[in-house]
Amino acid sequence: MKNLIYILLISFTTTQAQKVKLVDTMDRYKFNIERLNETDDCTVRAIAEGFNMDYLDALQITLDMGRERRMGMPLAKYVRGLSKTFYKQIVFGSNVDVPTDAQGFVDTIAEDGYSYIVVSAAHTFVIEQGYGTARGKSNVKTNDKWFVKGNYDDKKKDILMYVKIKNQYKK
């Protein structure tokens, strides 16, 4: 009987949509943001998270792409810069047919094994499948947790376009 309940519980939890969790990158990169007096740096944080690199390296890349310090970056420069700088890592890029929030993106577009740099109105952030442990089993690694890596309210923003990247995490 215990085994039957356990199997039903496991099958129920795996069929439910994976809830998207938030990683606040403003907090994660607070030291560099404050030290450099950076503002409007969502492109820097998205590149750092999406391509698994240091904030300072991502900052330099965005400056090379045409971003000015303490200023946002025009979408055309950002998209062109991503495709030129990261052409080997980018698998695919596309507009979204119907704008959707992060949970909708994970439920309908996102695929296992990939990270996504997404663009909303005048903003960019990352949706990424993370590496964690199976519920109740600290020695069983899973790759099924989805995270929004950006600002505190990015889970609610309408996603308009995305770039698909091979995920850095291994099972």
- pLDDT for the residue numbered 126: 97
| Closest listed residue to residue 58, CA positions, set 38, 75, 76, 74 | 38
| Domains of the chain by residue range | 18-166
- Predicted TM-score (pTM) of the model is 0.82
- pLDDT for the residue numbered 136: 47
| Closest listed residue to residue 95, CA positions, set 159, 47, 167, 156 | 159
- pLDDT for the residue numbered 169: 58
User: Is-contact 109 96, C-beta < 8 A?
Assistant: yes
Write out residues in the chain with pLDDT < 70, as ranges.
1-18, 131-144, 168-171
SS3 127: strand
- pLDDT for the residue numbered 143: 52
